[in-house]
Amino acid sequence: MEIATKLPGKIRDRYAPSPTGLQHIGGIRTALFNYLFARSSGGKFILRLEDTDRARFDERFVQNLYDTFAWLGIRWDEGPDAGGPAAPYVQSKRTAGYQQYAEELLAAGRAYPCFCSAERLDEIRREREAAHSGETGYDRRCREIPAEEAARQIAAGEPHTIRLKIPLGETTRFRDYLLGDVEWKNNDVNPDPVLLKSDGFPTYHLANVVDDHLMGISHVLRAQEWLSSTPLHVIMYRAFGWEHPEFCHLPMVMGQDGKKLSKRHGATSIDEFRRQGYLPEALINYVALLGCSWEEGKDFYTLEELAERFSLDKLNKAPGVFDYKKLEWYNGQYIRAKTSGELAELALPWAVEAGLFNNGAKGAGPSAEERERFAAAMPLIRERLTLLGEVPGKLGYLFAAPPVPPAEEFFPKKADRSQTAALLRLGRGLVEALAAATDDEAAEQIVKAAAEKEGVKPGDLLMPLRVAVTGARVSPPLFGSIRLLGAQASGERVDRALAALSV
């Protein structure tokens, strides 16, 4: 493992997730800000997989990470699948180096072997809990074992870990770009944490510090929840005699109840947002606003525009509040910016999954005629859409005749059954002309003329006709629906409704 060259003034930052779960909003926001910072400064954005937690590691989560960022359009300059001068970028493939650096601290007297068993550590915890003690962490029992005795125990094959020797009675100071000067008493730092486990695998802290140094990371941008780990990392950098990166702890992402965003607030994994039908550009645009101030009067940015404009000075100290309604608004705006053809292609997977085509065959693709009708229907619903997942529910009536609703659904205000049937018969006589009308304006004139002639309100005339054709009192525009269905299919639905009303 060779040290990567850190060029003066050259920005190198990274996203270093642990593949133990699905990608979520908080992680994506961290990755996005690192990406934007690197792009805005002409630097390098690096992906590193911190997979030292082998018990929770799952290859599915690695694939989820790749799939998520491919969908978002965010690409790293160096990483497991891209290579680079500091390869490998997967921590489980770098274990020999971590052992080397742990031994280096051991030899320098800045770390020590610990022979305490897991059972003893559990017993310490239980005793403290029983005594309601405020003490936490390791009791440093092995810290004062003479070097000769420790060497003898190691030579005898006794299982052991390697722990960092935290300098006691001191204060660790560092500067955070956003939070300013930070001071932390060493006595409040995790007491002599494990660096190397008994199986030779590093802990998160050792691997993180060693890799950031060897990969030439100049800036560490991460969520403020990691702030309590930073004094420990600074102590480790100084123990090695290395210069630590610049730190910038990003504002938290909170729910509207003021608590850290979690599943109780709704969807947080990116997979859930994708399943519901959010667009990647809407998600990126909105997430970029969480804890970051941009330009007055401008709400919409492409990924490229965000990269051009980003700077750490735009970050806020206050947490960003995740507002699902605001995200839905953004998504709706991006949907409305799509052409009918683009929107149809984006929405097609949801329609196929819902069984919209081929007489309700779930998973079946559309025929050529159905595909054409599907695309032609996009203008009817574009203004009403928030999510792509809503498309099948709004357009189902165009591909299969809906059940005839209860009679009361047809009734205009203050109309009874016989009056409604008369209105529907009047509407039935207009179907052919409405299907042939070139546009909505022409169709409106047809309805107005018929309503005026019969002395009824146009709205009263259209209500039962709408319910007969679409199956609902609230639906996409009726005139466009009749044109897409055609005179025959529309007429047949009205005839079914008339039969039901006359029972």
For residue range 450-479, list pLDDT tens digits in order.
999 999 999 999 999 999 999 999 999 999
Question: Which residues on adjacent β-strands are paired with residue 181?
Answer: 175
Per-residue pLDDT of 321-368, as tens digits, reads 999 999 999 999 999 999 999 999 999 999 999 999 988 888 889 999
Question: At 45, which amino acid appears?
Answer: F
Distances, alpha carbon 408 to alpha carbons 405, 472, 500, in Å: 8, 11, 11
**Summary mean pLDDT of the chain:** 94
Task: Work out the average pLDDT over 179-205.
Answer: 95
Write the burial class of residue 423 (CB in 10 Å: 0-12 exposed, 13-18 middle, 19+ buried). Answer: buried
| pLDDT of 302 above 70 | yes
Q: Give the model's pLDDT for residue 310.
A: 96
**Alpha helices (runs of H) in 115-171, residue ranges in sequence order:** 118-130, 147-155
Q: Give the model's pLDDT for residue 263.
A: 65
**pLDDT above 90 covers what percent of the chain?**
89
C-alpha–C-alpha distance, residues 98 and 200, integer Å:
9
Per-residue pLDDT of 19-36, as tens digits, reads 999 999 999 999 999 999
User: By three-state DSSP, how is residue 361 classified?
Assistant: coil
Task: Work out the average pLDDT over 204-214.
Answer: 96
Length of the chain, in residues: 503
Q: Which residues contact 490 (CB under 8 A, 6 or more apart)?
A: 431, 434, 435, 469, 481, 482
**Alpha helices (runs of H) in 202-358, residue ranges in sequence order:** 204-214, 230-240, 270-276, 280-287, 303-309, 324-336, 340-353
Task: Work out the average pLDDT over 216-238.
Answer: 96
Q: Poorest-confidence range of 5-14, 427-436, 480-489?
A: 5-14
Would you kindly state where each structural domain of the chain is located, as residue ranges?
A: 12-254, 339-398, 407-501
**Omega cis (within 30) before 88:** yes
12-254 and 407-501, same CATH topology? no
CATH architecture of 407-501: Orthogonal Bundle (1.10)
C-alpha–C-alpha distance, residues 244 and 182, integer Å:
14
Taking Cα atoms as reference points, which of 27, 341, 16, 78 lies closest to residue 207?
Answer: 16
C-alpha–C-alpha distance, residues 142 and 237, integer Å:
23
Task: Work out the average pLDDT over 184-206.
Answer: 94
Taking Cα atoms as reference points, which of 176, 178, 317 lies closest to residue 251?
Answer: 317
Q: What CATH fold (topology level) applies to the domain 12-254?
A: Rossmann fold (3.40.50)
414 noted as active-site residue: no
93, 185, 259, 263: the active-site residue: 263
Question: Which residues on adjacent β-strands are paired with residue 14?
Answer: 46
CATH of segment(s) 339-398: 1.10.8
Q: Which residues contact 41 (CB under 8 A, 6 or more apart)?
A: 11
Q: Give the model's pLDDT for residue 4.
A: 46
Largest Cα–Cα separation, the chain: 109
